[in-house]
Amino acid sequence: MNKFVLYEPIYFVARLKSTITSGSKTIPFETFSGNKQLVSGKFIADKAGIYLMSFTIKNAGKGSTLADLYANGIRQCQPTSFFHPTKVGHHESSVGCTAVVKLQRGQEVYVNSDYGAWGHSSSNHPRSSFSGVLLKPI
């Protein structure tokens, strides 16, 4: 460990590899960068600490997008993007949220879709992401 770093950093950046459809479920983000792997789309804290967590979901233009960021089973935020099929034209939007959370070892953070999550992404063009970083161990 570097003598100027007070603790070993923990971080991840994850993405959707394909578009998700409607339904209430944990969104299956997959880690593609960082030193922490997600388990079934969930971050599990290895160390107690203060973490910064963030996600963005690009609406696929097929319906409203409602997604929640949960930490230790408690909803931290609930951004919403409404799709109005009666309007003419192309619909594109995204939802996102960033939260600072205090976690104990073993607690989970994940993004859960509500009934209307239509997240757009592909392997070549990831447009939806979930990331986190340990700000301070406790």
Residue 3 lies in a domain: no
d(CA 80, CA 103): 25
The arithmetic mean of pLDDT across residues 101-111, rounded, is 96
Residue 94 is part of which domain span?
Answer: 11-137
Q: Is the pLDDT of residue 125 over 60?
A: no
Domain at 79, CATH number: 2.60.120.40
Residue 5 lies in a domain: no
Taking only the tens place, the pLDDT of each residue in 13-56 is: 998 877 776 666 888 888 888 888 899 999 999 999 999 999 98
Residue 129 lies in a domain: yes
Q: Sign of torsion, CA 49 108 78 76?
A: negative
The arithmetic mean of pLDDT across residues 51-73, rounded, is 83
Residue 69 lies in a domain: yes
Count of structural domains, the chain: 1
In the prediction, which pLDDT does 123 show?
A: 54
Q: Residue 117 burial by CB count (10 A; 0-12/13-18/19+): exposed, middle or buried?
A: buried
What percent of the chain has pLDDT above 90?
A: 37
Residue 6 lies in a domain: no
- Rounded to the nearest 5 degrees, what angle is found at the Cα of 79, between the Cα atoms of 103 and 40? 50
Residue 41 lies in a domain: yes
Residue 15 lies in a domain: yes
Per the prediction, the chain carries an average pLDDT of 80
Q: Is the pLDDT of residue 63 over 70?
A: no
Residue 63 lies in a domain: yes
Q: Bridge-partner residues for 58, per DSSP?
A: 94, 120
Most confident of 5-9, 68-72, 121-125: 68-72
Between 77 and 92, the more confident residue is: 77
